[in-house]
Amino acid sequence: MLPVVEVELFHCLGQGVENAAISAHTLPFGTYMDGLLGMDFLSEFLFDIRPSANEIIRYYS
């Protein structure tokens, strides 16, 4: 089971989420990763993920 850390503010994709529970995970040495967002966060927004362009495009209504 991964450790869970409570943070006062998590800011990503131009949005701030207050009192967020974030799972922490240790990656092997030399692993490159900008970050990993879960569907519990992403499902709050309308967006496209474009892996070939390394982009997440968020749409505003």
Quick check: 61 pLDDT over 90? no
**How do residues 16-60 score in pLDDT, each as one tens digit?**
889 988 887 878 888 887 777 888 888 888 889 899 998 888 888
**What is the C-alpha to C-alpha distance for residues 16 and 39, in angstroms, rounded to an integer?**
16
Instruction: List the Cα angle 52/55/56 in 5-degree steps.
Output: 130
Any residues with CB less than 8 A from the CB of 27 and at least 6 apart, and which?
A: 33
Instruction: List the Cα angle 43/49/51 in 5-degree steps.
Output: 145
> Residue 6: what pLDDT?
93
**How do residues 2-26 score in pLDDT, each as one tens digit?**
788 999 998 887 888 899 888 878 7
